[in-house]
Structures are given as C-alpha cells and as structure tokens.
C-alpha cells in the first residue's frame, strides 16, 4: 500500500474543497430521515403504484449516465440498488444551475453517498426508478471504488483478490454486495440457536475473557499482563470451567456465545480468534446432549436454508435427525485395524510411525490417539456423525465411562470430514478431576504446550458438589461455513487475522 496520492484521489480532494467553496458541506452533520429502502420499493411498487410518492432514500452512487439536462444514476443502499432519474430544472428550480452543472456533473463521483427525495415511477424501459426532486450530498468519497463492470452477464474487473477483500472488508461489502448474505445468515444462525435455548428456559450468561488460568481446553494461550494487579493474564481459550461453576451455583442450564483465543496455526478452517457457543445442562448426560445437538442443528438448517439439505462443496449434506453414531474405538479399528483400547503409549507411538503419522516424544497416549483418528478416520464422515466414547487420556474434563474402563462419556459431531461440536458427560468427581489435571501438568513438563493448567478454584467448586451435567461446545464460524457453503473461515469473519500490511513511502517500507 502506497501513501502517495493517485491522480484520482487528488482530484476528489479538490472536488471536496470546491464543494466547501460553494457553501456545500461534503460531510454534513444533520440527521437525514429515510422512509424507504431499495428492496421494498422494487418489490412493492409494481403491485401498488400509489406507494412511495414521497420517498426519501440514501445510498452510494454506483453508476451514472449524464445526458445533458437529465441523468440516470444507480445508488446502492444496505439492501440493494435502485435507479434515480435526475432532471436539472427540477432539482435546481428557483436557483441558478450551479447545483446541477457544477456539483452534480463535475464534483460528484461514483462512491459518493447522497440522499434524495422524490416519487417512484416506471421508465419507458420498464425499470422502477425514483424521480428525484431534491438531492443532498451526505459524504464525499475521496478514494475511488474498484469499479466492477458487467456486460452480457460477464463480470469484468471484479474485486476478487482474497487478501485485498479480507484487509478491506468495508470495500468488499460495497463492491461485492452478495458477501453480505453470508454475514446476515451468520447472525441468523446465532439468533436461531439463542431462541432455541431460550425456549427451553436456559440462561444466557457472560464469563471473563481475561483469565488468571487458561482452562477448559487443550490449547496454547495468548498471554498479557495486568499492570495494576501486577499479574499475568491469559485470553480465554474456552469458557467451560466458568460455566460449570454456574451449574455448581444452582443454575439448571446456562449458555454463552464467547470469543475465544488460541495462539495456534491459521488455515482455511482455523483463526486465532473465533466464536464458540457452549451450553451446560444439569441432570443430563451425553446421550441426552446428542439429541439436543441434532435437534438444534436441524433447526438451524431449516431457518437458514428452508430445508434440512444443503450443499457443501460438491456434496449434498442432510441435517435431518437422527444422526449416525460410531464409537471412536470402532472407527479406528475399521480404518486402521488397530484396537486402541488394548494398546500402551509405546505401542501407539510405534503404530503412528508405521502409519507414517507425524508424532514426537512430547505426545502422550491421548494425543497419539487423536493424531491417528485425525489422519486416518475423520475425513470419512461426510454426513453428520457422532463419534463417541473417547479414551480417558484425550478427555481430562470428562466423566469416566459408566461401563468400559479407560473410556469417557464424550462425543464429537463430525460433518464433511471436520469436527463441528464437542460434548461430554461432565466430570463432577473433584478427586478424579484433580488427578486428571495433574496428569496434564506432567504433559506440560514433557513439552506439550497445549496441555491444560490446573485450576484449583474450579476443583474447589466441584468439591462443593456439581450435579450430573452434560455440556456441549460448537464453533459458530465453522457452522456458518457449512450452512452457507463457504470454503474458508476468512469468508465468514468480517475481519480475519492477517499479517501487517506493508506501506511503501519514500523508498522505505514499514508495517501498519
């Protein structure tokens, strides 16, 4: 990015100055009242031409055709585009022609934001348009838009460079308005889940983002420092332990949409800052949570797409419940031939080597099994599938299996070969919990920088008694990707994390 002004930018700045000289503020302060939007005009007027006879609308100029004393302009508001018909003698009635000849014809540009008042009519070409009686400059654009041209259904000069789109999302939303639909659907997904839980009587809560111990997930945290308290603090990797404290406190069901932060890799499905929804319900178990999860996912699919079926890439996915259930032991046995329940850590390590899975000596038994499943199994699960009964070493916060030694009551929901949700029958035995966390500390000492910390206050909370509880977490970003058939997480985040942009100035470069 250069700090030098282009010729177009110089001309636009000069145009703003000339407006001021003419007594026109290019950035006026007063309220501009709007009583209609483009979409409702285009939908309703053809059926009732008595509507919108005193319309006030605002938007950004996207194209214009000046033809002597009259012009056609297309403006874009928050929901679409509409054509304006502007006649010089009408917007300048009783004045000289300065407003039209100088301001409109010479000083206004594509990208400028204007407000217009007038009435709706249909042109001889059959296009619903606004006949402008009054025009107000609301904001001068001093940097030109990348103009996207379309002819005979072919788009030219499209603003498609991913890096530019992610860095300048504001520009992406202007010139690629279809991008907005993904984010509108994202909000609808969140609201659908929220309404689903509220109908069941669960309480939406908030828990700390800055935490003295990064608990609730095996992840590498971001660390900061609180000056007044003179202590290190961590950005939240998960909100699980705080939500379970609230179950100890007597709430039957709590949930939270949380921003979580993990100082780990970035790719098409991972961003260091992401949104997760977690819910905990007392007096339930992981089988009950499976049913709640598939009911919730089916509800979201119907709300977003009007059907339980959706395309993800070239695959048709059906979100209609019930979902297939496969134990992790059976899955790994099917796809590798190994029975993980009978294998020692050393045997698992050797098996990984034999299958050419990249492992190292810092990995304990749980992580080795996780690598095997990730490399050899998960990509097989395209339709929604619950993988359940995880080995104890993989699940330090999960209740031990009620029947099988060495397993826990945990499931993950897989879809299109990726994990979407993670859930447990929550471990509520404080003695067992402390032992599990102490084992995590041992893994830290071996070099596992994603192993959990010991949260002694959480253990103390369990010592007061937590009822049998099931909990579930689901990644909102990934769910949005699936529901909108979007291949990259960067396309469902308004502002994904990126490297600093380089600025060229006087033959030097610096980061911004």
Whole-angstrom distance, CA of residue 347 vs CA of residue 355 = 12
Q: Looking at residue 445, what is its pLDDT?
A: 73
What size, in residues, is the chain? 512
Q: Tens digit of pLDDT for each residue in 11-27?
A: 999 999 999 998 899 99
Beta partners for residue 139, in sequence order? 113
Q: What is the average per-residue pLDDT within 376-383?
A: 97
Q: What is the average per-residue pLDDT within 418-438?
A: 94
Helix, strand, coil tally for the chain in percent (to 5): 35, 30, 40
For residue 61, which of 118, 115, 116, 111 has the smallest C-alpha distance?
A: 111
Whole-angstrom distance, CA of residue 60 vs CA of residue 81 = 9
Query: Is the pLDDT confidence value at 493 over 70?
Result: yes
Q: What is the average per-residue pLDDT within 83-95?
A: 79
Q: Looking at residue 152, what is its pLDDT?
A: 61
Q: What is the average per-residue pLDDT within 85-99?
A: 72
DSSP letter for 101, please. I
Give the CATH fold of the 179-323+383-491 domain.
BirA Bifunctional Protein; domain 2 (3.30.930)
Q: Tens digit of pLDDT for each residue in 27-48?
A: 999 899 999 999 999 999 988 9
Between helix 345-354 and helix 365-376 the angle, nearest 10°, is 30
Reported confidence tier of residue 456, pLDDT bands at 50, 70, 90: very high
Q: What is the average per-residue pLDDT within 141-168?
A: 80
Angle at 357 between CA 222 and CA 437, to 5 degrees: 45
Reported confidence tier of residue 366, pLDDT bands at 50, 70, 90: confident
Q: Looking at residue 388, what is its pLDDT?
A: 96
Q: Per-domain residue ranges for the chain?
A: 7-145, 179-323+383-491
Q: Tens digit of pLDDT for each residue in 283-323?
A: 999 999 999 999 999 999 999 999 999 999 999 999 999 99
Query: Is the pLDDT confidence value at 508 over 50?
Result: no
Whole-angstrom distance, CA of residue 413 vs CA of residue 202 = 22
Q: Under 8 Å CB-to-CB from 345, ≥6 apart: which residues?
A: 364, 365, 368
Reported confidence tier of residue 98, pLDDT bands at 50, 70, 90: low
Query: Is the pLDDT confidence value at 97 over 70?
Result: no
Contact 119, 49 (CB under 8 A): no
- Residue 105 burial (10 A CB sphere; 0-12, 13-18, 19+): middle
Reported confidence tier of residue 149, pLDDT bands at 50, 70, 90: low
Place of tokens 């609730």: 216
Whole-angstrom distance, CA of residue 170 vs CA of residue 470 = 41
Q: What is the average per-residue pLDDT within 233-240?
A: 95
Q: Looking at residue 95, what is its pLDDT?
A: 54
Q: Looking at residue 509, what is its pLDDT?
A: 46
Q: What is the average per-residue pLDDT within 260-273?
A: 91
Cis peptide before 322 (omega within 30 of 0): yes
> What does the buried/exposed string (b/e) look like for 125-162 if buried means 16 or more CB atoms within 10 Å of the residue's CB?
eeebbbbbbebebbebbbeebbeeeeeeeeeeeebeee
Whole-angstrom distance, CA of residue 24 vs CA of residue 136 = 9
Whole-angstrom distance, CA of residue 205 vs CA of residue 194 = 11
Mean of all residue pLDDT scores within the chain: 91
Give the CATH fold of the 7-145 domain.
OB fold (Dihydrolipoamide Acetyltransferase, E2P) (2.40.50)
Q: What is the average per-residue pLDDT within 149-168?
A: 77
Q: Tens digit of pLDDT for each residue in 458-482?
A: 999 999 999 999 999 999 999 999 9
Contact 221, 454 (CB under 8 A): no
């Amino acid at each position: 990015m250069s700090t030098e002004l282009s010729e177009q930018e110089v001309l636009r700045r000069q145009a703003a100055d000339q407006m001021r000289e003419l007594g026109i503020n290019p950035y006026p302060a007063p309220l501009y009242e709007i009583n209609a939007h483009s979409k409702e005009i285009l939908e309703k007027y053809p059926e009732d031409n008595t509507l919108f006879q005193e319309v006030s609308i605002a938007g950004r100029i996207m194209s214009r055709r000046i033809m002597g004393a009259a012009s056609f302009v297309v403006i874009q508001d928050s929901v679409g585009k509409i054509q304006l018909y502007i006649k010089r003698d009408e917007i300048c009635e009783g004045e000289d022609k300065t407003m039209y000849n100088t301001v409109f014809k010479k000083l206004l540009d594509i990208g400028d934001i204007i407000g217009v008042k007038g009435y709706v009519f249909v042109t001889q070409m059959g296009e619903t348009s606004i006949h402008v009686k009054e025009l107000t400059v609301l904001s001068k654009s001093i940097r030109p838009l990348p103009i996207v041209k379309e002819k005979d259904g072919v788009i030219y000069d499209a603003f498609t460079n991913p890096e530019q789109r992610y860095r300048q999302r504001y520009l992406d939303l202007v010139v690629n308005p279809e991008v907005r639909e993904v984010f509108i659907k994202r909000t609808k997904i969140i609201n659908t889940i929220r309404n689903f839980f509220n109908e069941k009587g669960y309480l939406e809560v908030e828990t700390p983002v800055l935490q003295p111990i990064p608990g609730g997930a095996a992840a590498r945290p971001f660390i900061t420092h609180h000056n007044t308290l003179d202590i290190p603090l961590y950005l939240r990797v998960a909100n699980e332990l705080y939500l379970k404290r609230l179950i100890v406190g007597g709430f039957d069901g709590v949930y939270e949409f949380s921003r979580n932060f993990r100082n780990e890799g970035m790719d098409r499905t991972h961003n260091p800052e992401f949104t997760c929804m977690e819910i905990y319900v007392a007096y339930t178990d992981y089988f009950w949570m499976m049913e709640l999860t598939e009911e919730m996912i089916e509800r979201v699919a119907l709300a977003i797409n009007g059907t339980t079926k959706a395309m993800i890439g070239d695959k048709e996915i059906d979100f209609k419940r019930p979902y297939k259930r496969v134990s992790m032991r059976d899955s790994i046995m099917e796809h590798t031939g190994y029975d993980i329940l009978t294998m020692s850590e050393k045997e698992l390590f050797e098996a990984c080597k034999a299958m050419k899975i990249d492992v190292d000596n810092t990995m304990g038994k749980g992580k080795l099994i996780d690598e095997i499943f990730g490399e050899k199994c998960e990509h097989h699960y395209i339709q929604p599938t619950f993988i359940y009964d995880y080995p104890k070493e993989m699940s330090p916060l999960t209740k031990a299996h009620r029947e099988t030694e060495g397993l826990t009551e945990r499931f993950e929901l897989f879809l299109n070969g990726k994990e979407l949700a993670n859930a447990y029958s929550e471990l509520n035995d404080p003695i067992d919990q402390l032992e599990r966390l102490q084992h995590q500390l041992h893994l830290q000492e071996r070099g596992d920088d994603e192993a959990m910390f010991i949260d002694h206050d959480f253990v103390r909370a369990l010592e007061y008694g937590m009822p049998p509880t099931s909990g579930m977490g689901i990644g909102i970003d990934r769910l949005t990707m699936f529901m909108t058939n979007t291949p990259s997480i960067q396309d469902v985040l308004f502002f994904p994390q990126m490297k600093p942009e380089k600025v060229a100035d006087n033959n030097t470069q610096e980061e911004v």
